[in-house]
Amino acid sequence: MQSSLIMYKQLYASLLDRIFYAARNIRLEPVENKYTGRHLVEFTQVDIEASDISISEAMKLGERALYYTVRRILNEYSELLDYSEIERLENEISKPPYTRITYDEAVEILRKKGFDIRHGEELPFEAEARIAIEYNSPVWITNFPVKARGFYYLEDPARPGYNMDYNLILPSGHGEVLDGGCREYRYEKLREKIIEIHKEPLDKYEWFLELARNNEIKPTCGWGMGVERLVKYILNLKHIAYATPHPKIPGVIGP
């Protein structure tokens, strides 16, 4: 479901150059994710994608969006927040740019903190959240291993085996709020990744592969930001279920 959304974003940005929208998403999360406090089966996401933007520009846009949103709430709607929440946000959400570390650097930091991290796999939530706690501010984790992520990410030509991708991690233990990267658009590379790395059937993505074969997909970069995760952070909520009127929690039948 999520990979299909990203491919549609690539198509739309190839046709329109730049797109943005907010939409409801559905993701079939494992039942055990009901214990993380940050996963919903149905959630709202703000997405952007552009065909004429660099990885650095896309990241700058993401951190500016976070900073602008928090600042506007503090400046215009502070009566909705407790004093402790205002103080925390003032302390943690400084003006960008935010620190950028690579996946390899994150693994090294976490291992020194006692986390058992297997290189080449996605970072566990508790470990990922610890990174921003160390910095007491939002922090970017970049360049995840190719084998740890979806086939739609573009491999970094300067670092073979690693993607041109990024996650923005919130402080206070709230974890990832934004996920994105630059997208693979070349037919042969897409085909190779789908078959050899992710071992999925090609016919599942035939419509997209045909567009790539005909050079109708442009190089694009973009990201998606979870609205409920951002609300959870701003209000310092213990569980993301409190950030939406009708929460659909993995493994739990919602209202």
Q: What is the CATH number of the domain that holds 96?
A: 3.30.930.10
Token digits for 222?
A: 């973009």
**How does pLDDT run across 49-62, given as a tens digit for each residue?**
999 899 999 999 99
pTM of the model: 0.94
In a domain, 255, yes or no: no
- Number of structural domains in the chain: 1
Distance (Å, rounded) from C-alpha 225 to C-alpha 28?
18
Burial class (CB in 10 A: 0-12, 13-18, 19+), 27: middle
Query: In Å, how far are 18, 60, 100, 199, 218 from 53, measured between CA atoms?
Result: 9, 11, 18, 30, 11
In a domain, 21, yes or no: yes
Distance (Å, rounded) from C-alpha 133 to C-alpha 125?
13
In a domain, 250, yes or no: no
Averaged pLDDT, 76-102: 97
In a domain, 252, yes or no: no
In a domain, 249, yes or no: no
pLDDT band at 251 (very low <50, low <70, confident <90, very high): confident
In a domain, 251, yes or no: no
In a domain, 73, yes or no: yes
Residue in 45, 14, 9, 42 with CA at minimum distance from that of residue 28:
42
Checking if the pLDDT of 3 tops 70, the result is no
- Strands 139-142 and 42-50: what pairing? unpaired
Residues in the chain: 255
Residue in 95, 82, 60, 55 with CA at minimum distance from that of residue 182:
55
In a domain, 101, yes or no: yes
Checking if the pLDDT of 41 tops 90, the result is yes
